[in-house]
Amino acid sequence: MTASASSQTSVSRWRRYRPDQQWEAYLFLLPSFAGFLIFVAIPVVASLALSFYNWNLLSPPEFAGLENYSQLLTNDRVFRKVLFNTFYFIVTIVPLQLAFGLLLAVALNQGMRGLEIYRLIYFMPVVTTIVAAALVFQWFFNRDFGILAAAIWELAAETGLPIRPPDWLNDPDWAKPAVVILTLWKNTGFTMVIYLAALQGVPTELYDAAKVDGASPWQRFRFVTFPMVSPTTFFLMVIQMIGAFQLFSEAFVMTQGGPAQATLTIVYYIYQMAFEFQRMGRGAAVAWVLFIFIFIFTLVQTRLQRRWVHYEAGGES
Amino acid sequence: MRPEAAPGATFNKGHLLLHAALILGSVGMLLPFGWMLATSLKSPPQIFTYPPSLVPNPVVWRNYLDTVQAMPFGRFYLNSLFVAVSVTTLQILTSSLAAFAFARLRFRGREALFLVYLATLMIPFHVTMIPNFILVRYLRWFDTFYALIVPTAFSVFAVFLLRQYFRGIPVEMDEAARMDGASSFRIWAQVIMPLSGPVLAALTIFVFLGSWNDFLWPLVVSNSNATRTIPVGLATFRGQYNTDWHLLMAGSVIALLPVLLVYVFAQKRFVEGITLSGMGGR
Amino acid sequence: MKIRQWQNRFSFKALIVLAFAALLVSACAPIAPADDGGMAAMDDEKVTITWAMWGSPSEVATHQSVADAFMEENSDIAIEILAEPWGDYFTKIQTLWASGDSSVVPDVLFLSPIVNYASQGVLENLDPWIEASGYNTDDYWPSLLQYGMYEGSVYGFPRDIGLEVLYYNIDIFDEVGVPYPDETWTWDDLAAVSELLTDVEESGRVNRYALGMEGGKWMIWVMQNRGTALDDMRNPSRCALADEGAVEAVQFFKDMLDNNYFMPPANMSQAGGDAAVFQSGQVAMIIQNASRVSAFNAAGMNYDVSVIPIPADGQRASAAGGAAWVMSALSDNKDEAWTFLSWLQSTDGGQRIYTASGEILPALQSTAKSDAFLNSGQPPANRQAFITEGENARMGRIGYFVEWSEINGSFISPGRDQILIGEVSVPDGLAAICEQVDAFLADNGFPK
């Protein structure tokens, strides 16, 4: 399905499977696959089965056929709102996070002194528990007493200008960006670290050769760094997209999905359905509709990756 | 590896600019954290005063003592450490083996199986939690460390990350080893794994972090203090009516330390890096 | 080289063999749960009752002292506390129940709302137990026990009555020079005083709001003005929020917000919640239940309470409701569970201890009117306000049927947000809510 390799020299070899490696491969897979089967695959299949039942978790499930799905697609205004919100978060969070992460990683991969401290600082948000972080941001965003607003009010008082801080979490138009900001703050360090690790795999020789050829720093980035970390970029795109599709805690703690469902995400809706409205089956149905979306996105990405993802570094150059 | 300049390179304009930008960003990154820290050292009436202050006055060190005494904190801490270390070890072991097969071995159904792996990542935990719980109860693992560790020891995320990295390692490396008669297992252990230091370091951090901060699953499968973990303990500071902000923040600061420590040690490997040229002819 | 280090330090084969052995052993030989006061058997003679509730560490300490007092009186029963964080308590309890295993479901639990569980048959019907033991249910506040009932039978005993009163900051009232609230206050009085209490800076920043209240409590205004959310809160046939009384009440609330008299509910929760803004003087009054008393006393605040102002021709409408203790229908030790449950809900037992902790208004009138509550020697001075509200408390703040959570969560609350933010006018917003709620009711076969 996915492209195995794009390196011209080895494409044909890689496509074929090798009988002598068949059993060996299964042995390598066994530890992971055994656990995967029991603790990942079985529950996932069970959740699919649940989506065809009505279940309030307390009394026995009742078979409902496709009712959960048909309700969802034809008669659920909240679901449509939730889909829109989720797409908003995907198109904002994923590209910004990738860009900031790569930028930071490249900047911090220089041979300059004192960069360790930045590597620590930019990673600290990742380490913080989301609950504490979201509560802090919640207060930051407060229009009357928060620290961001305080600065703007101060400015307004000093200059006499009629400026007002945005009413971040009380205004549907501002609540979404607030969630995006929190997510970026929290997760950019993650992207940065993965990129930093990837940058270590780029052979120095490539940069040396590029320098000899008189490549500018931008050209070195564009033609050496970028292609060399492209497998990682692909990985991050897929992972971040899944992450953005499944955005939950940030909204759960900071905005409780509000105001007026402006930050209600798909997974938040699933949580509400399953555990607040006691409709586990409906929640599972939402999850599987979500699955179809993500799966299609991922398939498209794996198709597109052939055009820009460069595997097996060092094999050429 | 240091692609741009040798250590000790002199500062130039570009570097100063870079530092300026990085410092500005750091302020933004640290501000929420600063408020967390300040709150953890304030008395409740000080916390929400206006204008907001990042300096606790007076400094209430007692909050930390109160936090630790409000629950069997030490016990929870050890539980969390034990779970996180176990999960990290198991995940890296199982995932690196599987990732090796996906990246380096040619077998029937490879891409299809990988897609199945990936697909399961797309189902949110909230709907698989109950099947998982029923499974764990069936195994009679409820309220044991098995329930906390084993179901989380198999990670698609880790397999995916490692597979991507392994595929970036030149095939010539294993082919040379194979010529010398090395088995796949030896190649995994002695070629691929040693070459993957940076990504293994990154993965260690993330797996440890994920396990350390995990909330919902540990909440559901642990009942007694013997198996309770830190995030579940800290969550009790958010009550139905009152939130003990100062204690919650103090607890969060204490909880942050081990992960930060792991990071500080692991991050050295990102920059140490690995020079492929040094491996030539092996 | 690094390769050698890996080679020398670890024998990977051995490590993997070990890991597998560990996995296999754990899978084949399940061990008993780790025991540290856990689920394992205690003394042979003692019956262990597991008792689940949510709570912060200080609340759990109170629960523990209740359990200890009970065990002292009943040496043959051991109580094992299962305290969970408030945030995901219900997620956990539902998951435990979903497994259908009596060994993991607690015997006695703290639950809310009762009807969601009672209607699914997972709670023990307490009627036979009440009858057999002669337990006195008349002592509960009027209509409070309704909260623990389903189809005419009692399934849970509310521990306390969560009715609200008006807390006010005496220092701020004195500083501004306005009279303290009393029983004669109407909405007009509230508005007039709020105008004086609100403090807006020149820049437009509000330095102090007159009053703060959680958004979820908005129905108090509607019910005071003789309105209701649904025509029948047990078995509704239509949404009643677009009716005149409700529209008027919501308009009042909205006007108070627009004038900066009331703090916007979302802003208040961002700023740390009503307790935080009240303590830091960012609001002069809050509307809340008795849960704040101990925190304000601990902080040494100068405050008192009063009844909530009502419209000129309105009615008092504090909520008769509160989380209740229930018995699991799966319990293996129902006799002991009942002994504990009935002790919990007696003036000499649990009620007294909880009341003394200063966080609740007890569910039993005799406890509330005893010295334990009325003459505790602690602020607030005007505890009579709680009694007055209690005697007039009414049910109807929430729906007493399963689908209420969804109606409220998916339609009413988001619709209310839109109105309060000002995206729609009050009549239009309420009409829109009702349109959605009515459609939902029709789809789900109401009235049943």
Same domain, B37 and B87: no
Q: Can you tell me the distance from the alpha carbon of C318 to that of C394, in angstroms, rounded to the nearest whole number?
A: 6
Helix axes C426-443, C244-258, angle to 10 degrees: 130
Q: Can you tell me the distance from the alpha carbon of B40 to that of B256, in angstroms, rounded to the nearest whole number?
A: 13
Same domain, B32 and B108: no
Chains that touch A (3 or more CB pairs under 8 A): B, C
Across-strand partners of C109?
Answer: C52, C326
Same domain, C80 and C121: yes
Q: Hunting for tokens 């019907």 — which residue is that?
A: C125
Cβ count near A157 (within 10 Å): 14
Of residues C249 and B183, more confidence is placed in C249
Please tell me the pTM assigned to this model: 0.88
Q: What is the CATH number of the domain that holds C412?
A: 3.40.190.10
pLDDT of the residue at A269: 94
Cβ count near A183 (within 10 Å): 24
pLDDT of the residue at B9: 46
Same domain, C275 and C424: yes
Structural domain range at position C106: 47-161+321-391
| Per-residue pLDDT reduced to its tens digit, C377-404 | 889 999 999 999 999 998 888 999 999 9
Same domain, C211 and C271: yes
Over pLDDT 90: what percentage of chain B? Answer: 51
pLDDT of the residue at C428: 96
Same domain, B31 and B150: no
Q: Is the peptide bond before C447 cis (omega within 30 degrees of 0)?
A: yes
If one counts the domains in chain B, the total is: 2
Helix locations, chain B, DSSP H: 13-40, 44-47, 62-69, 73-104, 110-120, 125-138, 145-149, 156-167, 171-179, 184-187, 193-195, 197-213, 216-221, 230-235, 245-272
Same domain, C169 and C302: yes
pLDDT of the residue at C8: 36
Same domain, B142 and B238: yes
Structural domain contains residue C358 = yes
Residue C13 has pLDDT above 80, yes or no: no
Instruction: State the pLDDT confidence band at A5, using cuts at 50, 70 and 90.
Output: very low
Between residues 238 and 267 of chain B, which touch chain C (CB distance below 8 Å)? 238-245, 247
pLDDT of the residue at B85: 94
Structural domain contains residue C12 = no
Same domain, B28 and B56: yes
Of residues C43 and A23, more confidence is placed in A23
Over pLDDT 70: what percentage of chain A? Answer: 91
C36 vs B141, B193, B225: nearest CB:
B225
Same domain, C99 and C121: yes
Instruction: State the pLDDT confidence band at B271, using cuts at 50, 70 and 90.
Output: low
Same domain, B31 and B101: no
Instruction: State the pLDDT confidence band at C372, using cuts at 50, 70 and 90.
Output: confident
Instruction: State the pLDDT confidence band at C188, using cuts at 50, 70 and 90.
Output: very high
Compute φ and ψ for A174, nearest 5 degrees.
Answer: -100, -20
Of residues C249 and A317, more confidence is placed in C249
Contacts of A307 (CB under 8 A, 6+ apart): none
Same domain, B155 and B210: yes
Q: What is the CATH number of the domain that holds B247?
A: 1.10.3720.10
A313 vs B33, B168, B202: nearest CB:
B168
> How close, in Å, is residue C51 to chain B by CA atoms?
11
Lowest mean pLDDT among A82-96, A297-311, C60-74, C174-188: A297-311
Same domain, B215 and B268: yes
Nearest of B217, B173, B223 to residue B196 by alpha carbon: B173
Q: Can you tell me the distance from the alpha carbon of B125 to that of C202, in angstroms, rounded to the nearest whole number?
A: 50
Structural domain contains residue B66 = no
Structural domain contains residue C39 = no
Three-state DSSP class for C206? Answer: strand
Structural domain contains residue B230 = yes
Tokens of B210: 């994920």
Least CA distance to A38: which residue of chain C? C27
Average per-residue pLDDT for chain A:
85
Average per-residue pLDDT for chain C:
88
Of residues A75 and B86, more confidence is placed in B86
| Per-residue pLDDT reduced to its tens digit, B42-58 | 988 888 887 888 888 88
Residues of A in contact with B124 (CB under 8 A): 246, 248, 266-267, 270, 287, 290
Instruction: State the pLDDT confidence band at C44, using cuts at 50, 70 and 90.
Output: low
pLDDT of the residue at A76: 87
Residues of B in contact with A203 (CB under 8 A): 275-277
Selected residue of B120, B126, B276 to mutate for chain A interface (largest A Cβ count, 10 A): B126
| Per-residue pLDDT reduced to its tens digit, A138-196 | 888 888 888 888 888 888 888 877 788 888 888 888 999 999 999 999 999 999 988 98
pLDDT of the residue at C257: 95
Instruction: State the pLDDT confidence band at A206, using cuts at 50, 70 and 90.
Output: confident
Cβ C147 vs Cβ C158: under 8 Å: yes
pLDDT of the residue at B106: 86
Lowest mean pLDDT among A303-312, B181-190, C281-290: A303-312
Same domain, B203 and B172: yes
Same domain, B49 and B78: no
Q: What is the ipTM of this complex?
A: 0.85
Tokens of B127: 């709907």
If one counts the domains in chain C, the total is: 2
Residues of B in contact with A1 (CB under 8 A): 111-112, 114-115
Domain boundaries, chain A: 51-308
Same domain, C275 and C335: no
Q: Can you tell me the distance from the alpha carbon of C265 to that of A100, in angstroms, rounded to the nearest whole number?
A: 35
Cβ C292 vs Cβ C130: under 8 Å: no
pLDDT of the residue at B240: 83
Structural domain contains residue C19 = no
Same domain, C194 and C294: yes
Same domain, B94 and B31: no
Helix locations, B2-72, DSSP H: 13-40, 44-47, 62-69
Structural domain contains residue B3 = no
Instruction: State the pLDDT confidence band at A304, using cuts at 50, 70 and 90.
Output: confident
Structural domain range at position B88: 72-279
Tokens of A187: 């997760």
Instruction: State the pLDDT confidence band at C409, using cuts at 50, 70 and 90.
Output: very high
Residues of B in contact with A205 (CB under 8 A): 277
Same domain, B33 and B87: no
Average per-residue pLDDT for chain B:
86
Handedness of CA A281, A285, A290, A295 (dihedral sign): positive
pLDDT of the residue at C286: 96
Instruction: State the pLDDT confidence band at A253, using cuts at 50, 70 and 90.
Output: confident
CATH number of A51-308: 1.10.3720.10
The DSSP bridge pattern shows strands A53-54 and A62-63 to be antiparallel
Cβ count near C4 (within 10 Å): 10
Quick check: C329 contacting A, CB < 8 Å? Answer: no
| Per-residue pLDDT reduced to its tens digit, B60-87 | 999 999 999 999 999 999 999 999 999 9
The C-alpha angle with vertex B282 and arms to B276 and C1, in degrees rounded to 5, equals: 65
| Per-residue pLDDT reduced to its tens digit, C95-121 | 999 988 888 999 999 998 999 999 999
pLDDT of the residue at C101: 84
